Chain A
Amino acid sequence: MQLAELRRGIDDRTALARALQEIVGPGHVFTHPADLIAYEYDGCNFMAALPDLVVCPLSRDEVVGIVRAAGRHRVPVIARGAGTGLAGGAITPIGGIIVSLARMKRILQVDLDNRYAVVEPGVINLDITAAVQARGYFFAPDPSSQSACSVGGNVANNSGGVHTLAFGVTTNHVLGLELVLADGSVVQLGGRGADEPGLDLPGLVVGSEGTLGIVTAVTVRLMRRREGLLTMLGIFPTIEQASQSVAEIIASGIGPTALEMIDQLTVEAVEPAVHAGLPLDAGAVLLIEVEGVREVLAPSAGTIDALCRRNGAREVRTARTEEERHLYWAARKGAFGAMGRLAPNYYLHDAVVPRSRLPAIMRQVMEIARQNGIRVANVFHAGDGNLHPLIPYDAAVPGETERVMKASEEILAACVAAGGSLSGEHGIGFEKNNYMPWIFSETDLAAQRRLKRAWDPEDLMNPFKMFPTPISCGELMVRRPPRLSASGLWI
């Protein structure tokens, strides 16, 4: 079957565009090819799909109008935040309307006494913390892309971050949601407390990747900063020694708030961008953070130092200044964005394994890479066993994309075989939907599908995502034409 055959047709494109223009104003509906093509991708740079229309609402009521118009024309709607997602969740494999929520970026209410904030979905993750940090508060989910990604996207993908180890993922920080359903009705889910009566519907919607409706407001939990924190770097000759240290640090019961692995190839990419002083010749660097009351920091740091050195660390550093601490984190968070320094394309994985299996799975990943003749950079949340093998490659080289895809599938299969899972935080999207049967039975999936159908009977909310489809992401692979060399020849 071809994807083109599955594309939802639009009976009267002009009428639909006109209807949308009446709702949001003519300047906020896009139909020109030069505009549509800028929405054929998201943060996942290896697949692309052209939307039929792009519309940029400014309010909940406009979203309601858009969803109703789309329903009348039976056209899919795909909510999009900042477009930094890594699983193709915000692209339109079978066509439809992209509803960009980037303009809905107001912080509606901040209540520090009760530790919550109400924000629109287009608010940038870091902007929540920026709004409250002067008074000692923060919004805990902190994906590497937090300076760019939107809260709506965090809700859709149940995003994690570098402090997931201590604070959990997005669902642990969402108290309530306002959601526009497929029929245009608006529902308020959850509330402002930790446990609202009734079904835990925010829990259902967080992580549903826009398949149940469009979130138009989020009530997030705000947390108080701890008294003190220490940020450390453990520098290791090999990634296995670093992995072993992770397992032992967790087992020691210290409870670091972050435990991040950065391997040599990653340092090679990111150090020229950030200049954090990471050694280019170390096999791996562990970035470790401990937080708490002041008295506990020094003993914790002492234990971590000893454990790292016992496992062969050649150096353990502690950030002395706030600036140095920021540089360490900038190196970690800029890592995947720096992949363009290694190759024109990259494939960033997101698999989870039990922490105890880390050293073994790292060996397996490197072996799979070797067999397929590809490079792998490893930068990941070691503390929660959330791997992010990064494969830099060049789609313009014939056969390279296929090798990368083959290796990727093998890596994912190895993680699942080790008792792990398909995704830690990036979501399933259109990238891994056809692997869902690896971890769910037919009965499991049928139950999930029934739920989706109950909320969205026509399958118009971000269709073709999360659940297995007759076509997989390979169909949407970005094929780059050969490049033009300086001499003017196509190579």
Chain B
Amino acid sequence: MAMRSTAPEVPAAQPIPRLAVPELDRCIQCGFCLQHCPTYRILGVETESPRGRIHLIEAAAQGRIPIDARFEEHMYVCLGCRACETACPSGVRFGTIIEAARAEIGPTGSPLARRLTRLALRHLMPSPGRLRFAAALLRFYQRSGLRTAARALHLIPRRLAEMEALLPAVPRRFFAPRQEVFPAIGPRRARVGLLSGCVMSVLFADLNEATIRVLRRNGCEVVVPRAQTCCAALNLHNGERDRARAMARRNIETFLAAGVDAVIINSAGCGSTSKEYDVLFRDDPAYAAKAKQYSGLCRDVSEFLADLGLAGRLGEVRARVTYQDPCHLAHGQGIRRQPRDLLRRIPGIELVEMAGSDRCCGSAGIYNLTQPGYSRQVLDEKMAAVRETGAALVVAPNPGCMLQIASGIRAHGLEMQVRHLIELLDRAYEAAEGGSAGGTPRA
């Protein structure tokens, strides 16, 4: 006869004091976050909700459950979109909590995937030079016919092949300007630094250039310090906290030394991470003040331009557009109004809101690589909302969202394109000068 048990067995585990972060205490389990959580919406289980994850983390902190594969899975099914933070009446900072949990686990996936992720996070992200080199290799692989051959011969394990297919085409040109300082056009209104970013620099060089042009036209002297590095968002989101601190220090030192009025960021994820360096260093009294000073300087480019007030004449850009709120802009930084205001300033732009514009598109850093199945489900819901608007352009001022939505457009066979807000502003300025695309002034 089977043994008669009285209660489900919960194996004893050691308490993990590092998980007992102050943010945990604020959650009172009201459940207001549930319907705002993309994974809860598709899966309908408590463990894939913000409230449930917080409860699991608290249980692990107390030693009630071990950090095992199941726990890890729940922590990494989270997109990290932080929509729950917007929904939470108690102001729980879920992003900080999930980062603490992932720091205990490290990167997720199979042993090989973990090793690859770690390798990239530790050796590629901190070094712009190496990142460019890796991107150049990838570009060679994509263009030389190697990829075609590898695919035809099934040389790559299936899971890895799926991940590889999601990687975007690497463009011909990287962002690595020879000069560090770009003078203002017209009277100088501010001296600003530009965080050029890792992905932005290798995949979206033209966006960084457009950002510099628009800032210069608005009277900004733009400094692009060569010593800067990636903001470390991907490291933080994937449990590489110590490396993230080292990278953050380098940016803080570099930009504080540059003597700028603001650090301009054109990628929502980098902005949200940079603005939270103060949290990253809160247990380091020696460095906390500097981190806070740096975080205080960081501005999303839309936030900065809306506050500064656009200078100069904007020409017509005729298009029906819809705006996707990047999670790390809307939920991470509370910026919703400014990008829309700037869009409406452009003559000819018709802004049509999509349903649930502040719901995640499923990109979520490298989530589309680590959790392709859930990512696709979330993306499908997004593309349905986008299609409803009948827009020709989707504006999503964040590289991850741009890549993800572009892949959604391809997958759903839609006739539209993705643009960064700054591209449209740049085009509007250019149109005012009567310039054609061929005569684009280079930064």
Partners in one complex: yes
CA distance in complex: A270, B91 (Å)? 10
Chain A residue numbers with a CB within 8 Å of B25 are 340, 344, 483
Chain A residue numbers with a CB within 8 Å of B34 are 82, 148
- A487: nearest chain-B partner, CB-CB: B283
B6 within 8 A of A: yes
A38 within 8 A of B: yes
B74 within 8 A of A: yes
Docked-complex contact A273 and B5, CB < 8 angstroms: no
Interface members, chain A 305-348 (any B CB < 8 Å)? 334-341, 344-346
B112 within 8 A of A: no
- B62: nearest chain-A partner, CB-CB: A481
Chain A residue numbers with a CB within 8 Å of B62 are 481
Docked-complex contact B10 and A37, CB < 8 angstroms: yes
Docked-complex contact B4 and A45, CB < 8 angstroms: no
Given contacts A56-B45, A337-B88, contact A41 B7 (CB under 8 A): no
Docked-complex contact A273 and B90, CB < 8 angstroms: yes
Docked-complex contact B55 and A83, CB < 8 angstroms: no
Docked-complex contact A34 and B30, CB < 8 angstroms: no
A367 within 8 A of B: no
Chain B residue numbers with a CB within 8 Å of A238 are none
Tell me which of B65-73, B120-128, B178-186 binds A: B65-73
Interface of B is mostly: loop
Chain B residue numbers with a CB within 8 Å of A15 are 2
A208 within 8 A of B: no
Docked-complex contact A337 and B28, CB < 8 angstroms: yes
Interface members, chain B 238-252 (any A CB < 8 Å)? none
CA distance in complex: A50, B8 (Å)? 8
Number of interface residues of B (CB under 8 A): 45
Docked-complex contact B44 and A100, CB < 8 angstroms: yes
CA distance in complex: A105, B41 (Å)? 10
Number of interface residues of A (CB under 8 A): 63
Docked-complex contact A43 and B89, CB < 8 angstroms: no
Given contacts A37-B10, A82-B34, A148-B35, contact A341 B26 (CB under 8 A): yes
CA distance in complex: A53, B7 (Å)? 10
Q: Residues 1-33 of chain A: 1 if any B CB is under 8 Å from the residue's CB, otherwise 0?
A: 000100101111111000000000000001111
- A334: nearest chain-B partner, CB-CB: B89
A488 within 8 A of B: yes
Docked-complex contact B31 and A82, CB < 8 angstroms: yes
Docked-complex contact A38 and B55, CB < 8 angstroms: yes
CA distance in complex: A148, B50 (Å)? 13
Chain A residue numbers with a CB within 8 Å of B133 are none
- A12: nearest chain-B partner, CB-CB: B2
Docked-complex contact A273 and B91, CB < 8 angstroms: yes
Give the shortest distance, in Å, between A73 (CB) and chain B (any CB).
11
Given contacts A37-B10, A337-B90, contact A102 B45 (CB under 8 A): yes
B64 within 8 A of A: yes
CA distance in complex: A102, B31 (Å)? 13
Give the shortest distance, in Å, between B231 (CB) and chain A (any CB).
25
Interface members, chain B 22-79 (any A CB < 8 Å)? 25-35, 44-47, 52, 55-56, 59, 62, 64-65, 68, 70-71, 74
B418 within 8 A of A: no
Chain B residue numbers with a CB within 8 Å of A340 are 25-28, 88-92
Docked-complex contact A43 and B2, CB < 8 angstroms: no
Chain A residue numbers with a CB within 8 Å of B88 are 273, 337, 340
Docked-complex contact B90 and A9, CB < 8 angstroms: no
Docked-complex contact B8 and A43, CB < 8 angstroms: no
CA distance in complex: A99, B71 (Å)? 22
Docked-complex contact A338 and B56, CB < 8 angstroms: no
B5, B27, B45: which contacts A100 (Cβ < 8 A)?
Answer: B45
* Sample (7) of A-B pairs whose CB atoms are under 8 Å apart: A9-B6, A37-B56, A38-B52, A54-B45, A84-B30, A340-B92, A344-B26
**8 extra A-B contacts, CB within 8 A, seeds A15-B2, A273-B91, A340-B92:** A9-B5, A33-B8, A34-B56, A37-B56, A38-B56, A147-B32, A273-B90, A334-B32
